[in-house]
Amino acid sequence: MVEMMLLVFTFVLAIFLGLELISKVPSMLHTPLTSGSNAISGITVVGALVAAGTLHDSRFGTILGFVAIVFAMINVVGGYVVTNRMLAMFKSKEKGGQS
């Protein structure tokens, strides 16, 4: 019961932290930010790992977990790679970005 309340507490605080972090980002960075935070949402892979790796009592549950890992990893890896690709293109003139 205590653990549950602590998690609810964490949830509320993290929401406020997120609101603070994002509210002043320049619009130029909105696309990479959307795609980068999208990659973070793949954190659900942890739940998928638990489902595929520890819930042995049913084959069906393991398969659900396995499929969840596949999709979560596409989300995580694809999201980070795409974001990195985008950010790599933002170049400043002073730094010799002109090619």
Partner 1 sequence: MTILINSSYIVASIAFVMGLKWMGRVETARKGNLISALGMTVVVLATLATPGMTYEWIAAGIVIGSVLGAVSAMRVPMTSMPEFVGLYNGFGGLASLLVGWAEYHHNAPVWTVGGAPEGPAPIWFTALACFLTILIGGVTFSGSMVAYCKLAERVIGGKPILYKGQHVVNLGIILVVLLIGAAFAVHPGGQVTYALFAVAIVLSLLLGILITIPIGGADMPVVICLLNSYSGLAGAAAGFVILNPVLIVAGSLVGASGIVLSIIMCKAMNRSFANVLFGGFGATAGSGPSGAHGEAKAASPEEAYYVLEAAGSVVFVPGYGMAVAQAQHVVRELGELIEKNGAEVCYAIHPVAGRMPGHMNVLLAEANVPYEKLVEMDAINPTMNTVDVAIVIGANDVVNPAARDDESSPIYGMPIINVDHARTVYVLKRSMASGFAGIDNPLFFKENTRMIFGDAKATIQALVAEFKAS
CB of 40 to partner 1, least distance (A): 5
Instruction: Report d(CA 15, CA 12) in Å as an integer.
Output: 5
CB of 84 to partner 1, least distance (A): 6
Considering only residues 16 to 35 of the shown chain, the ones binding partner 1 according to CB under 8 A are 16-19, 21-35
Q: Following DSSP, what letter does each residue of 40-82 receive, concatenated?
A: HGGGGHHHHHHHHHH-TT-HHHHHHHHHHHHHHHHHHHHHHHH
Identify residues 32-61 at the interface with partner 1 (CB under 8 A): 32-58, 60-61
* C-alpha to C-alpha distance for 64 and 53, rounded to whole angstroms: 11
Footprint of partner 1 on residues 60-99 (CB under 8 A)?
60-94, 97-99
Nearest distance in Å: CB 59, partner 1: 10
